Amino acid sequence: MKVTVPKLFYDSKFYLSKDGKTIAHVVSNVNCYSLIDEVMHIENSEHKKKIFQTNEFIDQLVENKPGRPLMSTEPKTLWLNEIQEINFENRTVTLVNAKGETKSVSYQLN
């Protein structure tokens, strides 16, 4: 099943496969502080999972609004611009990172 996901800003999101057997949790920019943070978890009903770290999608965090003040609720750095697609059947995730680069990754659940 193909899931097209709207842009993410500051909230973590959960996505469920159509058959209800697999869930994906995508961590927001607010909760990501380094390249080794866990930013995406995908797990199925058999408790097989894949955990992605930030560095699998971007090689350097991007400063949020450089040179401009931030609200207290805004993240200082960004890793993600948008999730374009989570395809649970083909086990692929396609996203646009904070640098504007489209990254498509395949995964296996272990």
- Cα–Cα dist 77/54, whole Å: 12
pTM to 2 decimal places: 0.85
Question: Residue 60: its pLDDT value, please?
Answer: 96
Question: Residue 87: its pLDDT value, please?
Answer: 96
The proportion of the chain whose per-residue pLDDT surpasses 90, expressed as a percent, equals 70
Q: In which residue ranges of the chain is pLDDT below 50?
A: 5-9
* Residue 59, Cβ density class (10 Å: 0-12 exposed, 13-18 middle, ≥19 buried): exposed
Question: Residue 2: its pLDDT value, please?
Answer: 55
